[in-house]
Structure 1
């Protein structure tokens, strides 16, 4: 039975309560409905006679308050309360007990009900107050639970961020480092993208941007592991092909039974020689910005880490650099979105066209504008995690 109605004495601005009555006695159900009419509440009443029917209703319809009889054909006692609470953990539950069940109400509240009422002793004013206060307490509990979940997400994000987004180790280098990281889903933890920059011997600047397959804490944990391994190995003197072999061994050991893999770009910037040395492991090329504009560098490719075991080669590409410029390393989240009404993938070509329209600004401002524009073009669609690392040297390149 369903009923949408307003109490006889409802206030003009009274909210409408969506109430589910789970009661197999039709006589008691009619009495409850009559009492609701006298409460002054605005309500939408749905009545179900079994817990199985109630389960289907709760799955299909949002409910503010459940009035629950403790003696149903398919469940009874506090088991009814715990079962209903498991089905609707953030919905107010008011238990209806019999005159001879003195302990049933307190037991029901101990099992999770917000309140209880004794059949035959309920008046309209009492029912009015009980429903309103139970819904209020339930909403307060929900808000508190959501706030606690948000705090836990923020704390976990902070821990992961410290691992995925470390402070660059720069001793004498004059290169300016700009980094950004955004998870692909709203409220999501950081994903498996990672980046890092360290200065090695002889003033060489080493950088990495990588992307672990998948999302969530497992991908993030493996990303943290690979980022820390990269920093330790670079500071220990490992370079290029040798470095990637060791990173792959670590990935295979740390991924456990999950078949995760990782792509990455390794970069060594030598300002004295005016060169950048690239190693690509399943990742795309960086972008080079000069006074003439921005273009994608051409570089040799190697296989992603962890695709299959066996000996691999990751060839090196040495690129000459101008005295002034910028290199941008990034993950797929910057190009895999869709652009505008045409719903076409942005891609590297679209990214370069977009960069050409951006005003000449401070590097950090330009990176933020680029991310903002790609997100707006994607029109709120889901996108991959996004990591951007930009390295600027010399004076800021002017736009031609």
Structure 2
């Protein structure tokens, strides 16, 4: 039989390995094995000795009835089975035809570290068992010195410890992602840089997509110059992940630097494309964006668009889709793209809503149809809230609700709503 020697598994023994009598043990509560559903778990035994394998089968029959077990005789066979399906626990002999000692443990852990491992040692190899635990095994058992109940307990403890390790690792990964998200968010979604009295009211929102682990490449920014002119940007780097997010941060920072250097319009787009080409990790990466210059003196807005969706123009309860002529996304035609600047009028009682395509690319209800630009316009016209912040939140919520049957919006969503500041309007009306 086998006997556990770490923690709570094992029996005391004398020099020749025979069990030594102990003081009477108080009556115990029922073993927790009764609440375990062994058939829902599985074990892989890696053991080249047929006699030891039969002993393990007997221990399972007595201590973990119904527990499925597969038996292989070598590390190579174990790797083949692990490639097909992962068990909950591996019972591993440290003396195999193709792997000896900790080499056998390394062979299994190199292939997968997702399952619990209990190593099997001889009576004179307890130090190797301890070394195996230090190297990543959950427990070790000494051949010839374990009872079925203790074998069952060792299995449960090993599986539970591995589950705890995985949960702890997942928590650490989640915390690291959260910290990384926070750093990326500061770069992608900054605080507006406003100098002088605010001439434009701004509502900005960001919603991660359902598969989000890190922020995607959606970004926006607002800079107001001392004369009240407001520059606004919204953009989206194709793809999702840390590389795209880093590229988005680089574009956003470059845009703000260009604005502060009084570089606007077509020249600004050409320089931003140079930044994209230098920062992107693959030749297929591109970015869409819309850049605005809002002049409070005449309520005109200069729009430069590079492959980005149109905008919603909201005047009172009336909403229109505005899509000025533009050019290709940055990176589509490096050095050969042509863009243009177009002006529109933003009345004093109107607001412009800019957004990334994640807002309208979600599937609707149980169908495979996407909301689309026309669907977004129709949806926006059903939102009656007068307050810009309430209007934006309601529209995002309704788009999410339509996509709920498919798990929510697939892509990240960035939204920016701009309207003239009411204090400036009052001054204009005097």
Confirm or deny that 1:13 pairs with 2:35: yes
Confirm or deny that 1:330 pairs with 2:335: no
**More moved, 361-370 vs 190-199:** 361-370
The Cα of 1:312 is off from its aligned counterpart by 4.1
The Cα of 1:157 is off from its aligned counterpart by 0.3
> Structure 2 length normalisation: TM-score?
0.84
In the alignment, the residues of structure 2 paired with residue 92 and residue 84 of structure 1 have an alpha-carbon distance, to the nearest angstrom, of 11
In the alignment, the residues of structure 2 paired with residue 103 and residue 58 of structure 1 have an alpha-carbon distance, to the nearest angstrom, of 27
Q: For residues 40-79 of structure 1, what are the structure 2 equivalents within 5 Å?
A: 43-79=67-103
* Partners of 1:192 and 1:220 within 8 A in 2: yes
In the alignment, the residues of structure 2 paired with residue 155 and residue 125 of structure 1 have an alpha-carbon distance, to the nearest angstrom, of 45
In the alignment, the residues of structure 2 paired with residue 294 and residue 48 of structure 1 have an alpha-carbon distance, to the nearest angstrom, of 69
Confirm or deny that 1:321 pairs with 2:343: no
In the alignment, the residues of structure 2 paired with residue 148 and residue 11 of structure 1 have an alpha-carbon distance, to the nearest angstrom, of 30
Residues 279-306 of structure 1, C-alpha deviation per residue, up to 9 Å, x if partnerless?
1111122111111422111311112212
Residue 291 of structure 1 is matched in structure 2 by 316
Residue 248 of structure 1 is matched in structure 2 by 273
Partner residue of 1:357 out of 382, 387, 400 = 382
The Cα of 1:381 is off from its aligned counterpart by 6.3
Larger C-alpha radius of gyration, 1 or 2? 2
Partner residue of 2:231 out of 206, 216, 225 = 206
Aligned residues: 388
- Give the direction of change, closer, same or farther, for the CA distance of 1:24–1:390 in structure 2 (3 Å limit): same
**More moved, 209-218 vs 21-30:** 21-30
SS state of the match for residue 265, structure 1?
A: strand
The Cα of 1:373 is off from its aligned counterpart by 2.3
What residue ranges of structure 2 are gaps of 5+ in the alignment?
A: 1-30, 423-430
The Cα of 1:53 is off from its aligned counterpart by 3.4
Residue 300 of structure 2 is matched in structure 1 by 275
* Partners of 1:207 and 1:267 within 8 A in 2: yes
The Cα of 1:307 is off from its aligned counterpart by 1.9
Residues 172-213 of structure 1, C-alpha deviation per residue, up to 9 Å, x if partnerless?
124221222233343410111111011024211110111112
**More moved, 331-340 vs 256-265:** 256-265
SS state of the match for residue 126, structure 1?
A: helix
SS state of the match for residue 105, structure 2?
A: helix
Residue 332 of structure 2 is matched in structure 1 by 307
The Cα of 1:384 is off from its aligned counterpart by 2.5
* Partners of 2:210 and 2:408 within 8 A in 1: no
Residue 133 of structure 1 is matched in structure 2 by 157
What residue ranges of structure 1 are gaps of 5+ in the alignment?
A: 1-8, 396-400
Confirm or deny that 1:340 pairs with 2:340: no
SS state of the match for residue 228, structure 1?
A: helix
In the alignment, the residues of structure 1 paired with residue 242 and residue 214 of structure 2 have an alpha-carbon distance, to the nearest angstrom, of 7
Residues 64-88 of structure 1, C-alpha deviation per residue, up to 9 Å, x if partnerless?
2211112233333212212222333
Partner residue of 1:104 out of 116, 128, 133 = 128
Q: What RMSD, in angstroms, separates the aligned Cα atoms of the two structures? A: 2.3
SS state of the match for residue 339, structure 1?
A: coil
- Give the direction of change, closer, same or farther, for the CA distance of 1:304–1:294 in structure 2 (3 Å limit): same
In the alignment, the residues of structure 2 paired with residue 256 and residue 68 of structure 1 have an alpha-carbon distance, to the nearest angstrom, of 43
In the alignment, the residues of structure 2 paired with residue 29 and residue 372 of structure 1 have an alpha-carbon distance, to the nearest angstrom, of 59
* Partners of 2:359 and 2:409 within 8 A in 1: no
Residues 22-78 of structure 1, C-alpha deviation per residue, up to 9 Å, x if partnerless?
223232112112112322566332323333333343344342221111223333321
In the alignment, the residues of structure 2 paired with residue 19 and residue 368 of structure 1 have an alpha-carbon distance, to the nearest angstrom, of 51
**More moved, 60-69 vs 345-354:** 60-69
In the alignment, the residues of structure 2 paired with residue 186 and residue 217 of structure 1 have an alpha-carbon distance, to the nearest angstrom, of 14
